[in-house]
Amino acid sequence: MSVDPTSGGPLDGLLVVAIEQAVAAPFASRQLADLGARVIKVERRDGGDFARDYDRAADGMSSFFVWLNRGKESITADLKDDEDRALVSELIGRADVFVQNLAPGAAARLGLDATALAAAHPRLIACDLSGYGGGGPYERRKAYDLLIQCEAGLVSITGSEREPAKVGVSIADISGGMYAYSGILTALYERERTGRGAALAVSLFDGLSEWMSQPALYGHYSGADPRRNGAAHASIAPYGPYATGDGEEVNLGVQNGREWRILCDEIAGRPELADDPRFATNSDRVANRAALDAELRPAIARLRAAELIERLEAAGIAFGVMRSAGALLDHPQHRARDRWTTVETPVGPLAALKPPVVVGGREPRLGAVPALGEHDAAIRAWLAGERV
């Protein structure tokens, strides 16, 4: 059966209401919008989602907001105002999905927590996104991405040997948003079979802790936490960046003894290194990483980047070129596969990456990024018409 490329997407006809801000909840609801759901974003009257003001890098708009909010409608409301709260309640009553990531305790005070809403609306899938989850001594703590990275131990294993570093993207927020998104999809599937909605709870700390489970298990049972190695791999060598003669950095990924021998012979021109007892096995190479790099780096530095890449490709050795973040928009792989497109925004068309999941025969629906309160009148008129 072929897929209709003009259809609104697999979630066409579903209504999502989101009282959201920053990254985590907007990331989850944007995935739903990309799949065709109608997403109504409820924002504060005085400035809206504060991610709107994180920067002005995207032709005057926040790069965060452009990334996270395409395909949504924006309505403004004051949740302390009786009329506005009644309007939001009416929207939620019509919704299939509700997502919120208000400050700790705020949703419960307003009666907008997932448990209360799921009880009031049996078919609703309500999702609370929080920093540390319900219960426990951290329940009421404010939680921002860097703080969660620290508490989950991620910062302790990231960075150079001398200095820890946070991950350069909002990885705790993204992990929470992805688990909210997958949880909502699971609940929608279950509702198709049972007719019942669900109350979901996702915390950034739980999401990132799941991703940290392997180093946590390693540290707990070995008695030694994984070491920070910058861009190098903690337990494989050579695996990391090497400078070429023309100033480029190419990351090598040697996975086994056969590849190590090929690297020494065909790439570095140092076949004797393959038989050096200091580098005989991967464990030996990791234990003697400094000596390994002292031998290997000068050999790599004799080659220009293009020559090194040509040799690596011919030999079947894995590698990756160190690129800047801004260069991603012109990456040859994305360009060849037409992965970047544009979305409309209040300041004109801006770049947008198509969703990672490619559905055969269907083009993704990438809606516009809304101005603050852009859909106030239309949504209120729609609700009034529905009441008639």
Structural domain boundaries in the chain: 15-211+336-387, 239-322
Model pTM score: 0.91
What count of other Cβ atoms lies within 10 Å of the Cβ of residue 376? 16
pLDDT at 263: 95
Q: For residue 229, what are the CA distances in angstroms to 60, 64, 232, 236, 307?
A: 37, 29, 5, 11, 27
Confirm or reject CATH 3.40.1280.10 for domain 239-322, answering yes or no. no
Beta carbons of 61 and 208 less than 8 angstroms apart: no
Token pair for 77: 């409301």
With a CB cutoff of 8 Å and minimum separation 6, the contacts of 7 are 36, 362
Residue 238: asked if its preceding bond is cis (omega within 30°), the reply is yes
Closest CA to 51 of 37, 36, 63: 63
Q: Name the nearest CA neighbour of 295 among 246, 238, 250.
A: 238
Query: Considering just the CA atoms, what is the radius of gyration of the chain in Å?
Result: 25
What pLDDT, in 10s, does the model give residues 109-134?
A: 999 999 999 999 999 999 999 999 99
Q: What pLDDT sits at residue 54? A: 96
- Which one of 233, 331, 334, 375 is the catalytic residue? 233
Q: What is the mean pLDDT of residues 237-242?
A: 94
pLDDT at 387 over 80: no
Secondary element (H or E) of residue 77: none
Q: What is the mean pLDDT of the chain?
A: 94
**Residue 233 annotated to the active site:** yes
For residue 125 the two structure tokens come to 């899938």
Handedness of CA 244, 247, 248, 250 (dihedral sign): positive
Q: Give pLDDT, residue 229.
A: 84
Specify the CATH class of 15-211+336-387 in words: alpha beta
Residue 282 has pLDDT above 70, yes or no: yes
Q: pLDDT tens across 42-88, in order?
A: 999 999 999 999 999 999 999 999 999 999 999 999 999 999 999 99
Task: Say what the pLDDT of residue 7 is.
Answer: 58
Q: How confident is the model at residue 2 (pLDDT cuts 50, 70, 90)?
A: very low
Position 362 scores a pLDDT of 84
Q: Phi/psi at 326 (nearest 5 deg)?
A: -65, -30
Phi, psi of 125 (to 5 degrees): -100, 110
pLDDT score of 186 more than 80: yes
Q: Is the pLDDT of residue 192 over 60?
A: yes
What DSSP element (H or E) covers 27?
helix 24-34
Asked if residue 209 has pLDDT above 90, the reply is yes
Quote the pLDDT of residue 332. Answer: 94
